[in-house]
Chains A and B, each alone.
Chain A
Amino acid sequence: MELFPAGTLKAVMATREERSTDAAAGSDPAADGDGAGSVADVPDSGERRRDRRSADVSRSGSEGPEAELPAVAVSGLSKRFGSGPDAVTAVDDVSVEIPQGEIVGLLGPNGAGKTTLIKSILGMVLPDEGSVRLHGIDVREEPRAAYARVDAMLEGARNDYWRLTVRENLRYFAAIGGVDPDSVADRHDRLLDRFGIDSKVDTPVRNLSRGMKQKVSIASVLAGDADVVFLDEPTLGLDVESSRTLQDELRRIAEERGLTVVVSSHDMDVVEAVCDRVLIMSGGRIVADDTVEALLSGSDRHGLRIVSRDIDPALVADLRREFDGVTADTEAGRTRLRVAADTDDLYALMARLRERGVTIDRLDTVEPDLEDVFVELTRDTGEPR
């Protein structure tokens, strides 16, 4: 089955497609976007993803009452570490539901509470308040029943025994996860083949590269019978091709098995490409919860790229004080300035440049990508949108 027929590959998120106002566009390497060449690589549209999810539920055989239950249901979850004035609220009244078959990206800066949230969902951190249900099973009340439905890769390449071979690891952790290793041997073979490490099945993991170790960990988690999987930084150490393969496999498994996947990653490209939905955390709270498309279209901020011979370091310093996301580099006497700006900022920026007598040689606007949205949402106070 073809997952993404060409006809449906609509470039909904022309994330890095740039619209140049310069008649000489293309002469400046900085203006070269991915363009049409990247269309085949963009993910399916949100509508198609929703169709996929509804199809998943029926295919996975969970058509009973369980199909109506969210795969993950977090309600009013809070966790504080320490006490008194030194107490840190890692997760602050988080509520979220994830339907079966959805691939969700969990983003947030360091210290945002992502890991605590994931570990709380998995029962490895006991929350102070709130509840977590996986397919209707309360993780705190019935951890064993819940663990039959969930698996996680939290330690990346360290998720396996390095002294055992790839095959031994996969079989061991299948058994620990409550699955007869023989019954998932085909899945193991397929995933190892897809990840290009099928020739390493009898190699001790310690002798593999970091990326290969990561692949073994991922294969081990994806091959089991869990129908909710948490992957923390799954692409860490993977090359571009392997990262693409992982994305394909995640989509395939989500479609075929109705697997629900939560991906915590700083790799925005992966999240943008593979996730149906994105949760952005900041200060222990979820500050955004929407589809990638909605997040991108809802952003008022655009990147502006201005090229001029009149922009000097003093002006750049002034602009940095006044505007967000200002970067500049100078080459052959021309300075390329990038500024993240909403409508008001745009007017103010133009006024400032005019005031300083700057002649603009070239002006590009850059559509915001997920990284821009992420920065915008987590830059300020962390207040929810």
Chain B
Amino acid sequence: MGREREPGRGSGGPRPAGYYRLARAVLYREAVLFVRYPANAIGGIVIAVFFFGVLFYGGRMVAGRALTDSIEGIIVGYFLWTLSVGAYSAISNDIGSEVQWGTLERHVMTPFGFAPVALLKGLAKVIRTFFTSGIVLGVMLAVTGTTLELNVLTIVFVAGLSITSVLGLGFAAGGITLLYKRIGNWLNLLQFGFVVLVSAPSLDVPWLRVLPLAHGSGLLQRAMLNGTRFWEFPVADLALLVVVAAGYLGAGYLVFQYATRRARRLGVLGDY
């Protein structure tokens, strides 16, 4: 029986994939799941809009005009909060799901490294979150009849760096999830703490600006309420935004690496 021989390693057979290919694969998967299973995304949007509706109409009944006067700030804060929740769960929930599905080990055994792949997958989810949060923002503006300065570049830049710090927290939570599988659900409660961070008075209490979201939230308010473009912000403000983002992401990365190593030591990596 004649058989055509397959080309082997380094002889015109499989070609190595770089980070570009990896990014394409991860983004493609995210896009496919988003399009093929829209119920999840739509469900998230509906819930976010519902909670905003409760907040807006309920608040108006209680606070009346006081709330209406500050509605722009609430909308910006709510928009950033939905982004934060998406960024936080991007890695932590994803790892929990991979463990549950049985696909985690294939991501551990990647020549790109587990942490970079996890980060890339997190970024893919953040991109998706920008899309869904954008829809939520549009609905909020339509429902309240509010107008905001919507400079997309500035919003993406400031909001992106703001939620990078949360991505770091998600990284850490993902690592802890590897060690203690059931804790992931409890860690999700942290998302409600983001409300405090988003609304933190960082202008009045300067040290709050080193916390995740707080400084970025202030800048985003200025961008969306006053129309400040990102290049118009003081360099020190932008530098702090970058440093806080990098700091929390780096810290989260270290926690993730430590937790992964400990999970390997304990032999619980991938256990469910």
Which of the residues A116, A143, A172 comes within 8 Å of B29, measured between beta carbons?
A: A172
Q: Which residues of A contact B10 (CB under 8 A)?
A: 61
Q: Name the residue of chain B whose CB is nearest to the CB of A122.
A: B109
Determine whether the beta carbon of A155 is less than 8 Å from that of B25: no
A172 to chain B, nearest CB (A): 5
Q: A1-B3, A61-B8, A176-B25 are in contact. Are A152 and B105 (CB under 8 A)?
A: yes
Determine whether the beta carbon of A161 is less than 8 Å from that of B109: no
Q: Name the residue of chain B whose CB is nearest to the CB of A144.
A: B111
By size class, the interface of chain A is 35 or more
Which of the residues A125, A147, A150, A152 comes within 8 Å of B269, measured between beta carbons?
A: A125
Q: In this assembly, does B42 line the interface, its C-beta being within 8 Å of a C-beta of chain A?
A: no
B179 to chain A, nearest CB (A): 14
Q: A79-B267, A181-B21 are in contact. Are A124 and B101 (CB under 8 A)?
A: no
Determine whether the beta carbon of B105 is less than 8 Å from that of A154: yes
Determine whether the beta carbon of A59 is less than 8 Å from that of B8: yes
Which of B11-19, B78-86, B196-204, B230-238 lies at the interface with chain A? B11-19
Determine whether the beta carbon of A178 is less than 8 Å from that of B16: yes
Q: Name the residue of chain A whose CB is nearest to the CB of B266.
A: A81
Q: In this assembly, does A163 line the interface, its C-beta being within 8 Å of a C-beta of chain B?
A: yes
Please count how many residues in chain B sit with their CB below 8 Å of the partner chain's CB atoms.
45
Which of B30-38, B52-60, B132-140, B209-217 lies at the interface with chain A? B30-38
Q: A152-B109, A164-B29, A178-B111 are in contact. Are A183 and B15 (CB under 8 A)?
A: yes
Q: Which residues of A contact B107 (CB under 8 A)?
A: 176
**Complex Cα gap A116–B1 (Å):** 41
Return the CB mask of A163-183 against B: 1 if under 8 Å, else 0.
110001001111111111111
A192 to chain B, nearest CB (A): 15
Q: In this assembly, does A258 line the interface, its C-beta being within 8 Å of a C-beta of chain B?
A: yes
Which of the residues B14, B105, B108 comes within 8 Å of A183, measured between beta carbons?
A: B14
Q: Which residues of B contact A145 (CB under 8 A)?
A: 111
Determine whether the beta carbon of B15 is less than 8 Å from that of A176: no
Which residues of chain A in 98-157 are interfacial with respect to chain B, using CB atoms and an 8 Å cutoff?
Answer: 116, 119, 122-126, 143-145, 147-148, 150-152, 154-156
Which of the residues B11, B25, B261 comes within 8 Å of A172, measured between beta carbons?
A: B25
Which of the residues B21, B26, B105, B110 comes within 8 Å of A180, measured between beta carbons?
A: B21
Determine whether the beta carbon of A175 is less than 8 Å from that of B25: yes
Q: Which residues of B contact A243 (CB under 8 A)?
A: none
**Complex Cα gap A240–B15 (Å):** 34
Determine whether the beta carbon of B105 is less than 8 Å from that of A163: no
A124 to chain B, nearest CB (A): 5
Q: In this assembly, does A256 line the interface, its C-beta being within 8 Å of a C-beta of chain B?
A: yes
Which residues of chain B in 220-272 are interfacial with respect to chain A, using CB atoms and an 8 Å cutoff?
Answer: 261, 264-267, 269-270
Q: In this assembly, does A160 line the interface, its C-beta being within 8 Å of a C-beta of chain B?
A: yes
Q: In this assembly, does B24 line the interface, its C-beta being within 8 Å of a C-beta of chain A?
A: yes
Q: Name the residue of chain A whose CB is nearest to the CB of B264.
A: A126
Determine whether the beta carbon of B109 is less than 8 Å from that of A184: no
Q: A59-B8, A181-B17 are in contact. Are A126 and B109 (CB under 8 A)?
A: no
Q: In this assembly, does A293 line the interface, its C-beta being within 8 Å of a C-beta of chain B?
A: no
Q: In this assembly, does B43 line the interface, its C-beta being within 8 Å of a C-beta of chain A?
A: no
Q: In this assembly, does B206 line the interface, its C-beta being within 8 Å of a C-beta of chain A?
A: no
Determine whether the beta carbon of B16 is less than 8 Å from that of A179: yes
Determine whether the beta carbon of A159 is less than 8 Å from that of B9: no
Q: Name the residue of chain A whose CB is nearest to the CB of B110.
A: A176
Q: Which residues of A contact B22 (CB under 8 A)?
A: 175-176
A206 to chain B, nearest CB (A): 11
Determine whether the beta carbon of A252 is less than 8 Å from that of B117: no
Determine whether the beta carbon of B14 is less than 8 Å from that of A164: no
B250 to chain A, nearest CB (A): 20
Determine whether the beta carbon of B29 is less than 8 Å from that of A168: yes
Determine whether the beta carbon of A176 is less than 8 Å from that of B106: yes
B88 to chain A, nearest CB (A): 22
**Complex Cα gap A163–B117 (Å):** 20
Determine whether the beta carbon of B25 is less than 8 Å from that of A159: no
**Complex Cα gap A164–B123 (Å):** 20
Q: Name the residue of chain B whose CB is nearest to the CB of A62.
A: B9
Q: Name the residue of chain B whose CB is nearest to the CB of A186.
A: B6
Determine whether the beta carbon of B103 is less than 8 Å from that of A159: yes
Determine whether the beta carbon of B101 is less than 8 Å from that of A123: no
Q: Which residues of B contact A159 (CB under 8 A)?
A: 102-103, 106
Interface residues, chain A, with chain B CB atoms under 8 Å away: 1-2, 59-62, 79, 81, 90, 116, 119, 122-126, 143-145, 147-148, 150-152, 154-156, 158-164, 168, 171-184, 187, 190, 204, 224-225, 227, 252-253, 256-258
10 residue pairs of the A-B complex, CB under 8 angstroms, read A1-B3, A61-B9, A79-B267, A81-B267, A154-B105, A173-B106, A175-B17, A177-B106, A184-B13, A190-B6
Known: A60-B9, A161-B103, A181-B17. 18 other contacts (CB 8 A): A61-B8, A61-B9, A126-B264, A147-B111, A148-B16, A164-B33, A168-B28, A171-B25, A174-B17, A176-B25, A177-B110, A178-B110, A180-B17, A182-B15, A183-B13, A184-B14, A225-B9, A225-B14
- 6 nearest CB pairs, A to B: A158-B102, A175-B25, A155-B102, A225-B14, A148-B111, A178-B111
